[in-house]
Amino acid sequence: MDGPVIQTQELTKRYGDFVAVDRLNLVVEPGEVFGLLGPNGSGKTTTILMLLGLTEPTSGTVRVMGLDPARQPLSVKSRVGYIPDQVGFYDDLTARENLIYIAKLNGIPREEAYRRIDEALEQMGLKEVADRPVGTYSRGMRQRLGVAEVLIKRPSLIIMDEPTLGLDPEAAREFLNTIRDLKAQGITVLVASHLLHQVQAVCDRVGLFHRGRMVLEGTVEALARQVLGGGYRVYVEAVGPQAAILEALRRLPDATKAEAMGSERYMVEGRRDLRGEAARAVVEAGGSLRALQLEEPSLDDVYARYFQEVEHGREG
């Protein structure tokens, strides 16, 4: 397929005076996993609803696979899989019956539908429990059933809203692996979430939302570099003369910041991984090194820092 999977221009949605989505320009390329990240109420779900044609934009344009969701909602919805926030199923029906209903709504011929349903359930590891009522399913299983459901329409784009919310850490990790598998199959995935640290691991690129605006966009590393300055943070635990150690750490090349955190802990931020240099510096300053830990740039930090600066900027 040519061109971006999703393209919006100056997309805006207002509810009365409240601007839910403000002049959004979003481009998602085929085959990538894009994270739509931000706190609750920052416009992620509204954006998704506009992408699916479930709500109409106030102004601006949306193209999903080159189609306008407001004018060609059926074509868009038959190519896009949507897994809503806290996906719900008919509890008294079995997983298979739930999927059969969806296949019928998609107009998939019966034979073909049964084949695709079997495949999808197999792929999501639900084959054994396919004929149990969904009411007996755990949250993780429901989430996987959600994926199985969208797979039966063979989508080229899957949109997920808060897919890991309410999952235990193990189930969440498994689910992130599922997203990687989908990407490996060549499916473009758009993930909306406020659990930044969970989804950052699977996203090729992310867009950070704040009050209806996408304020930052790019790869996690690029954002970390841009916002955190360094992006690499090393925690040092050392015993010895505090002033000397801190001074040595500050003078490291490529270090942007160093500070003491308590009597035996230090933090160094740098433009690259400074663990080796930091270890040497501590020893040369007469200290003895106890522990050294690299913290990868985290989106939570990026987000917190960025808005700290925005708020400061506004006050100053």
Partner 1 sequence: MAARVEPGRISREGSPWTGLWAVVAKEMADYLTGIRMLILEMLAVLTAAGTVFMAAESLRTTVGQDRFLFLRLFTVQRDPLPAFIGFLAFLVPLIAIALTFDTVNGEFNRRTLSRVLAQPIYRDALLFGKFLAGLFTLTLVLTAIWLLVFGMGLARLGVPPGGEEVARSLLFLLATIFYGGVWLALALLFSVRFRQPATAALASIAVWLFFTVFWGIIAQGLAQILVPLRYGLVQEVLAQDQVAQALARLSPITLYSEVMMALLYPSLRAFGLVGVLLQFQEGVIVGAPLPLSQSLLLVWPQLTGLIAATVLLFAISYILFQRQEIRA
**Binding site residues, partner 1, CB under 8 A:** 9-10, 12, 23, 45-46, 49, 52, 54-55, 59-61, 70-75, 77-78, 80-91, 101-102, 104-107, 146, 149
Q: Cα(5)–Cα(308) distance, rounded to whole angstroms?
A: 33
Of residues 150, 158, 156, 177, the one with CA closest to residue 48: 158
CB of 180 to partner 1, least distance (A): 23
Structure tokens at 264: 């035996």
Minimum CB distance to partner 1, residue 92 (Å): 8
From the CB of 241, what's the least distance to partner 1, in Å?
59
Of 159 and 282, which CB lies nearer to partner 1 in the complex structure? Answer: 159
Nearer of residues 45 and 188 to partner 1, judged by Cβ: 45
Q: Least distance in Å: CB of 147 to partner 1?
A: 12
- What would you report as the CA-atom Rg of the chain, rounded to the nearest whole angstrom? 24
The nearer residue to partner 1, 192 or 227, going by C-beta atoms, is 192
* Cβ nearer to partner 1, comparing 90 with 115: 90
Min dist. Cβ of residue 171 to partner 1 (A): 18
* Least distance CB 198 / partner 1 (angstroms): 21
- Between residues 31 and 60, which has the closer beta carbon with respect to partner 1? 60
Task: Compute the least distance from the CB of residue 56 to partner 1, in Å.
Answer: 9
Rank residues 90 and 276 by Cβ distance to partner 1 and give the closer one.
90
Separation CA 127–CA 117 (nearest Å): 10
For residue 107, the minimal CB distance to partner 1 (Å) is 7
**Of residues 52 and 206, the one with the C-beta less far from partner 1:** 52
Is the CB of 141 or the CB of 258 nearer to partner 1? Answer: 141
Q: From the CB of 1, what's the least distance to partner 1, in Å? A: 19
d(CA 2, CA 171): 35
**Smaller CB separation from partner 1, 55 or 188:** 55
Burial 143-172 (b: 16+ CB within 10 A, else e): bbbbbbbbbbbebbbbbbbbbbeebeeebb
Q: Considering only the C-alpha atoms of the chain, give the largest distance between any 2 of them, rounded to a whole number of Å.
A: 76
